[in-house]
Amino acid sequence: MARIIISLPALLCLIGLLHSTEGANCNEKVADIVFLLDSSTSIRTEQFQEQLHFVQNVADNFKIGSNNIQVGAITFSDETLLNFHLNEHQTTAELKSAISEIPYIGGGTNTAKAIAYAREEMFKPEHGGRAWAAKILVLITDGFLNRNHYVAAQQEAYFAKHTNITIMAIGVGSGVQDMDLEGLASTPREKYVFRVDEYQALNTLRNELSIKTCEGPLQKDQSNEKNLEPEKQPKKFCGGKPADMYFLLDSSNSIHITDFDRQLRFVSDIVDIFDISESHTRVGVTLYSDRTHPVIPINNDFDKDELKFRVRNLHRLTGNTNTAAALKNVREYGFRDDIARSEVAHIVVLLTDGKSTNTFKTEREAELAHKAGIYVFAIGIGDMASIPELMAIASDPAESFMFKVNNYNALRHLRNILAIKACTVEATQNDKSVENNFACGTYGPRDIMFVFDGVSLGLEKSTVLRKAIGKIAKNMGLESKQDQRVGVMSEVYAHGTDSRLAEIRDQESFEERLDNAKEGKLRTLLRKLRHHSFLPINGGRSNAEHVAVLFLDRRSEITPLVIHEAIRTAFKIKLYVVVVGDEGSVPDADRMCSSPPDRYLLHVPTYADVSASTVSIARQICDA
């Protein structure tokens, strides 16, 4: 039986229509309607045909023409496929014929890309979009690949709704949740959310969807920003509300000079909305790549025109994407007590087009910023921006503080939305205890061994790791009442790889023993870890979780025998591998840790960053 979310008045209207006529014919309605049709592999060919029949039947209820209702169609899977624009078919017969020829494509489900394409392309005047017509998207879907895909789709739907596009969301089957549909559709949900159990039941929605489309308000001319609805139009100068705001702009190698200029133009446009003065809104700008470069301090004395001029004339840097350093700098120095105003909202707007060089460190710095009372807006540009990382950077709730756009040109669509949200936040108190909080909550007994090859690393690096291990243990609650035991193993005298004076008499045997010694230290460490470290005689407990943290760098001798020993170890013990160096600097590291690697393999850029990463490492162990 089909399940439909429907209001009582609409139901009565629908019953009347069913008794009086075959459909809800919109003779006087002026609307531009775009159907987004799910064509992913989760839908069988016959189910896809049911979608097409549904759209054809809905079209029968409309008066099709350039002065009435126009219909466009998009199919989507991994990619978005344009079927036809709004102005291509101006009679019902032509439209239904074109719908019948829409091909099934198969693939994944990238709903976000389809919504973005519809918003950016389908309602353009050259494609038939009319400024005076209602703009309506009808989305049909049976679910999303994962939560990241859903969050991206929700973000794109948010942008569409803020450009006065009405979204009707139709969910098919149990793979899509009511809550997800409500997050995509316009409000009220009783009017714009529909549910059916299967594709064959879509036609039960034919008249109901037509009624809701006919009831839609006439679209205002969008050519002038003054025609925006009041809640979708930024109040000039935030009504005089003061704030201290920093823009953190990605200036890494991945950004082309023209895209960097678009970032600057975006900041300049945002500045134009606020009342820039010492007593109202103050704006600072920081560029970041490998290093952090505060280029415009927040306590500057520039008026609006001077500030915009300086922003537009900033020069791009080069390097990697050290997002964590930028967040740390703005928290520790940008909002210092002698610089920032305690009585106003502290706001950071971070833009990036990629993933940071150290996700764990970035997430930790974002958490510290949140606890320090800083509101963080995270804006990701392009396909390389990581949605999970953006969600971690953004303040809560993520749907209000995280944005994702396809390219730098699309930043202009965020101008008003960001200004509105920035005007609504309030000053919060700094949590002075953020540095003193343990990363772990309550857990059962846990025995943890930290392992590194001290002989190969040398004294200096070994000292760095020993200090870091102490901090990791502290952050995991060793000083609290947690039932936890910690040990360290860094040196093994492997007698099987050493040789006495009279033991070897020929060159071949001597060279073979020397080769074995290369892999003997690390392999023997892992074997001792597996066989001896967690025995009762060494303090191990049978009722405790057994965990090991293995540190490696590019000098570590990783041979097939070492990998084999690590795999055997990970079979009995939760084995984390921390690589000090860039991703890929230790080949096969992902084979040595427990599975999955994205949970048990961690990277720290350099030994200088190890100390700062201890909380992130502790959190990763705790979360698992």
State how far Cα 302 lies from the chain centre.
35
- For residues 159 and 417, the answer to whether their CB atoms sit within 8 Å is yes
Residues of each domain in the chain carrying CATH 3.40.50.410? 31-215, 243-424, 446-623
In the CATH scheme, what is the code of domain 31-215?
3.40.50.410
**Proportion of the chain above pLDDT 70, given as a percent:** 79
Q: What is the model's pLDDT at position 88?
A: 93
Q: Residue 594 is encoded by which pair of tokens?
A: 């427990």
The secondary structure of residue 334, as a DSSP letter, is I
Mean pLDDT for 150-164 is 81
- For residues 182 and 153, the answer to whether their CB atoms sit within 8 Å is no
Q: Residue 25 is encoded by which pair of tokens?
A: 């014919």
Write the Ramachandran bin of 429: left for phi over 0, alpha for psi from -120 to 50, otherwise beta.
beta
pLDDT score of 414 more than 70: yes
Q: Which residue in this structure is represented by tokens 């006495």?
A: 500
Lowest-pLDDT choice from 196-210, 493-507, 597-611: 493-507
In CATH terms, is domain 243-424 a member of 3.40.30.10? no
Task: Indicate the average pLDDT of the chain.
Answer: 79
The secondary structure of residue 218, as a DSSP letter, is P
Of 231 and 299, more confident:
299
- For residues 239 and 423, the answer to whether their CB atoms sit within 8 Å is yes
Query: pLDDT (tens digit, 9 = 90+) per residue, 453-509?
Result: 887 888 888 888 988 888 888 777 765 545 778 888 886 544 444 444 445 556 666
The string of DSSP codes covering 427-496 is -----TTGGG--S------EEEEEE--HHHH-HHHHHHHHHHHHHHHHHTTTTTT--EEEEEE-----TT
Please tell me the distance from the alpha carbon of residue 491 to that of residue 493, in angstroms, as a whole number.
7
pLDDT score of 215 more than 50: yes
Q: What is the model's pLDDT at position 376?
A: 93
Residue 555 backbone phi and psi in degrees, to 5: -85, -10
Supply the angle between the helices 257-273 and 304-312 in degrees, to the nearest 10.
Answer: 170
Q: 206: pLDDT confidence band, cut at 50, 70 and 90?
A: low
Helical H runs in 250-379? 257-273, 304-312, 323-329, 359-371
The helix or strand, by DSSP H or E, that contains position 374, with its residue range, turns out to be strand 374-381
In CATH terms, is domain 446-623 a member of 3.40.50.300? no
3-class DSSP state of 351: strand
pLDDT score of 164 more than 60: yes
Please tell me the distance from the alpha carbon of residue 268 to that of residue 274, in angstroms, as a whole number.
10
Query: pLDDT (tens digit, 9 = 90+) per residue, 422-447?
Result: 777 777 766 544 444 444 655 678 88
Query: pLDDT (tens digit, 9 = 90+) per residue, 362-381?
Result: 888 898 899 889 999 999 88
- For residues 412 and 400, the answer to whether their CB atoms sit within 8 Å is no
Please tell me the distance from the alpha carbon of residue 100 to that of residue 293, in angstroms, as a whole number.
57
Q: Residue 362 is encoded by which pair of tokens?
A: 């970035």
Lowest-pLDDT choice from 226-235, 349-358, 591-600: 226-235
The candidate with the shortest Cα–Cα distance to 284, out of 274, 299, 301, 265, is: 299
- For residues 178 and 193, the answer to whether their CB atoms sit within 8 Å is yes
Q: 130: pLDDT confidence band, cut at 50, 70 and 90?
A: confident
Please tell me the distance from the alpha carbon of residue 254 to that of residue 278, in angstroms, as a whole number.
35
- For residues 135 and 220, the answer to whether their CB atoms sit within 8 Å is no
The string of DSSP codes covering 32-101 is EEEEEEE-STTS-HHHHHHHHHHHHHHHHTB-BSTTSEEEEEEEESSSEEEEE-TTS--SHHHHHHHHHT
Of 527 and 26, more confident:
527
Q: What angle do CA 587, 592, 593 make, to 5 degrees?
A: 120
- Prediction pTM value: 0.47
C-alpha torsion sign, points 253, 257, 259, 262 = positive
